[in-house]
């Protein structure tokens, strides 16, 4: 449970950053940001794996680039559920998903698999 909440906080950071960078992404309240992060985490855990398996042939043909479309669809699904999280257009949804993915990757680089900040000490 702690791991899910940590990842939701990272996704919330990515969504906030996407709302600042990507034109067409609008988060109208802090509550909407929290709900969007939790819902996006849930959608990515339940629906995305099914969609990835169903679209595997086209993902292989596009050398994995179709996963950007799948991630954009997940953002669009969250916007369909939440009224205070608005994304204008599918292109903005894909860019939002890209920003969230890059933010998650970057922050997860500092956080280990158990959700703790890892400090690496190199001795000579």
Domain extent, residue 41, equals 2-110
Residue 95 resides in a domain: yes
Q: What is the pLDDT of residues 13-40, one digit of tens each?
A: 999 999 999 999 999 999 999 999 999 9
Compute CA distances 36 → 88, 120, 121, whole Å.
Answer: 16, 33, 37
Residue 117 resides in a domain: no
Task: Report the number of distinct structural domains present in the chain.
Answer: 1
Paired tokens of 91: 């292109």
Contact yes or no for 86/26 (Cβ under 8 A): yes
Q: What is the pLDDT of residues 63-84, one digit of tens each?
A: 999 999 999 999 999 999 999 9
Residue 71 resides in a domain: yes
The pLDDT value recorded for residue 2 is 76
Contact yes or no for 100/14 (Cβ under 8 A): yes
Residue 67 resides in a domain: yes
Residue 119 resides in a domain: no
Cut 0.95: pTM above it: no
Residue 121 resides in a domain: no
């Amino acid at each position: 449970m702690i791991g899910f909440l940590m990842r939701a906080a990272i996704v919330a950071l990515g969504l906030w950053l996407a709302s600042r960078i990507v034109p067409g992404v609008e988060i109208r309240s802090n509550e909407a940001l929290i709900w969007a992060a939790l819902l996006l985490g849930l959608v990515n855990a339940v629906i995305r794996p099914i969609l990835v398996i169903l679209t595997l042939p086209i993902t292989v043909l596009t050398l994995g680039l179709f996963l950007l479309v799948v991630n954009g669809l997940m953002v669009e699904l969250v916007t369909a559920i939440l009224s205070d999280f608005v994304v204008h257009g599918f292109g903005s949804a894909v860019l939002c998903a890209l920003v969230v993915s890059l933010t998650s990757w970057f922050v997860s680089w500092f956080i280990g698999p158990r959700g703790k900040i890892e400090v690496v000490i190199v001795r000579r």
